[in-house]
Amino acid sequence: MIPEIGQFALILALSLAIFQTVFPLVGAHRNNAAMMDVGRTAATGQFVFVAIAFVCLTYAFLTDDFSVLYVANHSQLALPTLYKVSAVWGAHEGSLLLWIFLLAAWTLAVARFSSGLPEAFAARVIGVLGFLSIGFLLFALLTSNPFARLVPAAVDGGDLNPLLQDPGLAIHPPLLYVGYVGFSVAFAFAIAAMISGDLDQRWAKWTRPWTTVAWLFLTLGIALGSWWAYYELGWGGWWFWDAVENASFMPWLIGTALIHSLAVTEKRGLFKSWTLLLAITAFSLSLLGTFLVRSGIIVSVHAFATDPTRGFFILTFLAVVVVGALVLYAWRAPSLDSDAGFGLLSRETFLLLNNVLLVVATALVLIGTLAPLVIEMASGGKISIGPPWFNIAFLVPTIPLVVLLGLGMHTAWRSQDKSAWLRTIRLPAITALVLGVVIPLLIYGRISILLFVGCAAAVWIVVLALILPIRSLFREKGTAGITRSALGMSVAHLGMGLFVIGVTVVSAFGVESDRALRPGETIEVAGYEFEMRELRNVQGPNFSAIEAEIEIRRDGDFVATLRPQKRQYLVQKNWMTEASIRAGLDKDLFVALGDQLGSNGGWSVRIQYKPLIRFIWLGALVMALGGLIAITDRRYRSKVRKTAAVDGAAAEATA
Amino acid sequence: MNRYLWPLIAVVALLVFLVMGLRHGDPRALPSPFIGKPAPQFELPTLKNPDVTIGTQHMAGNYAIVNVWATWCVMCRQEHGFLLDLAASGAIPIYGINWRDSRPEAIRWLQELGDPYLASAYDADGRVGIDWGVYGAPETFLVDPDGTVVYKHLGPLDPVIWQREFVSRMNTGGAD
């Protein structure tokens, strides 16, 4: 009964989504206020019914209703309750429902917080979001019904993929999807503006906070996914350039470009058509990611179960949405060219370069992601072109990006006085050059060109990012302090600097060693002694495991005891590696059990020493914090109906 | 032409490409252009000893497989166990091409996981890989006693693929 209620709620949500699309769009066209009002009501209703469907599916999981096919395939009686909840979005059908739910939630937020917008504009935004809801609801109902019944019902379920039975992965998809789906709001704002043809700077101002929120969730989601891959996949890498990772990374890169481009459009009225194109692209890449992950077109460590009909459905939807948006763009954008100029040394120049480099980086990732597909069509196998290509290709645009980022922060809009500029950056530049040598050479004992570049760039960003907040802290009494958006920018860039130093140090000085180890034996890796004290069997709720107790010492002094496990999940029978990590801000010590070697009781053990690896995720966290600070800026809280004229204070504000 | 149309054109091209990708049915149906041709000649230092070289002539006279691998390749780790079994069974000589890898890491990999290869050629810059039409790792070529490439498999090997694609081709070839 409950699953049928869920399915019926989805059908009702679909009909409300149709109302939510047709009435506001037609109403805005005819300037009919009553019709436009339907949008908000229908959006609220759609949210309620999608929420009911979501609760019904969750209920089916919690009550072990194995007469529902999706539950029978992805849950099990002995599954811990937390994972019964996260199993709701553990596979294709349920994660699609999560996507629909979050889209409805974003729409509700827009409907609720758009009272300051012109009525026709808000109506069009809600209408466009309704159209996206129709697409995804149809997708769920026609090809991926999560409530399909299994007759006769199963006695017990097939269990959730053990890789996904992890607290990190329980919240990773929701965070990531909030970001993915959030770009639909920027997209809807862009479409609404192009339909009305009324594209002034207010559009950028309205879009900015929404885009920043989506971006910050995407940042957190990607960081969490990377952290999960690090400890759960058992290889100790933090990024694999896997197709699915790339699918989330491309919208992030374009979203980052969009945030910066929106700043220029808001402050100076420039780059309008470019900003529109980025808003369309960010969401299109989210859709492309969905397509790549769910169509089975590309193999990946975490692709969903594949089905060509689903692939065709998403591809058709992608085509309608993106082609429609770009036709509108080709029609409207030519009238948007602005003749306002800017000097060569100005913040506009740096933001333009930022955009170009981020787009180049995205293009490289896209090429690398699709290359195996080209190869498959030409020859026939599923392979990956491998991290070496990405690692090198990706450095080309990112190194100049990182250097220019530091400069851009301290350059004024329109035109910047050169001598003052040079005075500001002289000290940070010298600090960066010195520390770029000192950090690798004195702390870690080795240097190379890439190491120097990485460390110097990181110090460069960190120092330059701290200048504005520190100046504000020690300002004279009575003068204006730093704005929230400028503070947000500084913090986000600081996060970028922490990230760069983490990546540089861990890739240069990380030690990975696969060794054979028997109980009682000790080996040395990276100056630490690892002694295997014992091996024992342990029993989990739905797995049995072999656990090693490994004591780590440095020069004889006790450091930590790690207990890595090799688990066999009882239902799916597959073996999983549970690494054990001694985490620290300065370094991680990581031990994972491999396989039993021969019959002498020896095991292959992967031991890793990862200096500063925490800075990678810390950096991402700080970046997201920067986004959070930026959206609390005062000007987003005031009513925004009056035009946002560019004032002198803007020169001080964000990038 | 209107420059604002370019994004539209690019996206339409991409969509056409993706439709072709979806329509592309059996992923293993299309043969490699190298199949039925003599294996490309090469002469490379071996992985374990840079002073010794290995090349196509060492493989002549027997069926042999050439396995392209690298330590950064996740799927290679997956197929490694099977390669070890295959080597232990003595069914066929296995040669490796260690592709775009670092020598110390590759040697360590073999020491730790076991070495199924009679010898591995060390192709640091991937040049021989280009001659052999290698797109990625892992790839496995079946070369007959005359030095002709009989079959090429993309992706990790397993017992099923081995029986179906390799053993069958060796039997028909061995009959003449």
Q: Touching check for A291 and chain B: CB below 8 Å?
A: yes
Task: Tell me if B59 is assigned to some domain.
Answer: yes
Query: pTM for the complete prediction?
Result: 0.80
- CB–CB contact B2 A381 (8 Å): no
Segment A115-144 shows an average pLDDT of 93
Two structure tokens written together for A3 = 């699953």
Q: How confident is the model at residue A646 (pLDDT cuts 50, 70, 90)?
A: very low
Report how many domains make up chain B.
1
- The reported pLDDT for the residue numbered A573 is 67
Which tens digits make up the pLDDT trace of A39-73?
999 999 999 999 999 999 999 999 999 999 899 88
Query: Does the structure show a pLDDT above 70 at A493?
Result: yes
| Percentage of residues of chain A with pLDDT beyond 90 | 51
Mean pLDDT computed over A309-325? 88
Amino acid, res. A340: A
Of A301, A333, A385, the CB nearest to B136: A385
- Tell me the shortest Cα–Cα distance from B83 to chain A, in angstroms: 16
The answer as to whether B117 is a domain residue is: yes
Contact with chain A for residue B175, Cβ under 8 A: no
Q: What is the dihedral of CA A288, A289, A291, A297, to 10 degrees?
A: 110
Are A564 and A575 a contacting pair, CB within 8 Å?
no
* Alpha-carbon distance A54 to nearest alpha carbon in chain B (angstroms): 30
pLDDT classification of A543: cutoffs 50, 70, 90? confident
Residues 142-201 of A with CB under 8 A from B: none
A309 in B contact zone (CB under 8 Å): no
CB burial readout A3-22, b (16+ within 10 A) else e: beebbebbebbbebbbbbbb
Mutate to test the interface with B, among A326, A374, A525, A597 (most CBs of B within 10 A): A326
| Domain presence at residue B66 | yes
Give the C-alpha separation, A238 to A387, whole Å: 12
B34 touches chain A (CB under 8 A): no
Cα distance between residue B160 and residue B173, in whole Å: 20
SS (H, E, C) A151-200: CCCCCCCCCCCHHHCCHHHHHHHHHHHHHHHHHHHHHHHHHHHHHHCCCC
pLDDT of residue B176: 37
Q: Which segments of chain B have a pLDDT < 50? A: 25-31, 173-176
Q: How far apart are CA B26 and CA B32, in angstroms?
A: 14
| High-pLDDT (> 70) share of chain A, % | 91
Q: Give the helix ranges, DSSP H, for A333-417.
A: 347-379, 387-409
Average of per-residue pLDDT values in chain A: 87
Q: Does the pLDDT at position A641 exceed 80?
A: no
DSSP secondary structure of chain B: --GGGHHHHHHHHHHHHHHHHHH---TT-SPPTTTTSBPPP-EEEBSS-TTSEEEGGGGTTS-EEEEEE-TT-HHHHHHHHHHHHHHHHTSS-EEEEEES--HHHHHHHHHHH----SEEEEETTSHHHHHTT--SB-EEEEE-TTSBEEEEEES---HHHIIIIIIHHHHHHHT-
Is residue B23, in this structure, part of any structural domain at all? no
Q: Please state, in angstroms and rounded to a whole number, the distance separating the CA atoms of residues A353 and A539.
A: 56
Q: Does some domain include residue B20?
A: no
User: For A263-273, what is the mean pLDDT?
Assistant: 88
A574 touches chain B (CB under 8 A): no
**Burial (0-12, 13-18, 19+ Cβ within 10 Å), A634:** exposed
Spell out which residues of chain A touch residue B19, defining contact as CB-CB under 8 Å.
315
Cis check for the bond before B38: say yes or no (omega within 30 of 0): no
Considering only the beta carbons, identify the residue of A323, A378, A382 that sits closest to B155: A382
Residue range A408-444, pLDDT digits in tens = 999 888 888 888 899 989 999 999 999 999 988 888 8
Nearest alpha carbon to residue A620 among A196, A227, A58:
A227
Q: Best of B154, B157, B158, B161 to disrupt the A interface by mutation (most A CBs within 10 Å)?
A: B154
A122-131, A524-533, A543-552, B71-80: least confidently modelled range: B71-80
Residues of A in contact with B8 (CB under 8 A): 323, 326-327, 329-330
Residues spanned by the domain of B40 = 36-174
> Quick one: tokens of A158?
């097939």
The verdict on residue B45 lying in a domain is yes
3-state secondary structure of A235: coil
The C-alpha of B80 sits at a distance from chain A's nearest C-alpha, in angstroms, of: 12
> d(Cα A378, Cα A283) in Å, to the nearest integer?
30
Searching chain A, which residue's CA lies closest to the CA of residue B110?
A: A514
pLDDT tops 70 at residue A640: no
Per-residue model confidence as pLDDT tens digits over A563-581: 998 888 877 666 778 889 9
Spatial contact of A618 and A586, defined as CB atoms under 8 Å apart: no
Residue A512 vs residue A61, higher pLDDT: A61
Instruction: Tell me what pLDDT residue A303 has.
Output: 45
- pLDDT value at A109 more than 50: yes
Using 50, 70 and 90 to split pLDDT, how confident is the model at A235?
A: low
User: Position of tokens 């209620």?
Assistant: A5
Instruction: Name the residue among B78, B91, B16 with its Cα closest to residue A382.
Output: B78
Contact B22 A315 (CB under 8 A): yes
| Residue A358, amino acid | L
* A327 in reach of chain B (CB within 8 A): yes
Nearest to B8 among A281, A311, A327 (CB): A327
Listed by number, the residues of chain A in 354-373 with a beta carbon closer than 8 Å to a beta carbon of chain B are 370, 372-373
What pLDDT is attached to residue A86?
A: 92
Q: Is B28 within the bounds of a domain? A: no
Instruction: Of A133-137, A166-170, A531-535, give the range with the top mean pLDDT.
Output: A133-137
C-alpha distances in angstroms, A594 versus A230, A284, A300, A373?
Answer: 15, 41, 22, 32
3-class secondary structure for A245-259? Answer: HHHHHHHHHHHHHHH
Given a cut of 50, whether residue A645 has pLDDT beyond it is no
Q: What's the CA gap between A157 and A170, in Å, rounded?
A: 19
Q: Is the pLDDT of residue A459 over 80?
A: yes
Q: How confident is the model at residue A465 (pLDDT cuts 50, 70, 90)?
A: very high
Q: How confident is the model at residue A305 (pLDDT cuts 50, 70, 90)?
A: very low
Mean pLDDT of A310-316: 83
CATH 2.60.98 range(s) for chain A read 511-611
Is pLDDT of A495 > 70?
A: yes
**For residue A304, is pLDDT > 60?**
no
Give the DSSP H/E element, type plus range, for residue A305: none
Q: Which residue has the higher pLDDT, B151 or A293?
A: B151
A155-173 average pLDDT score: 81
Q: Decide if pLDDT at A637 tops 70.
A: no
The CATH class of the A511-611 domain is mainly beta
CATH number where B128 lies:
3.40.30.10
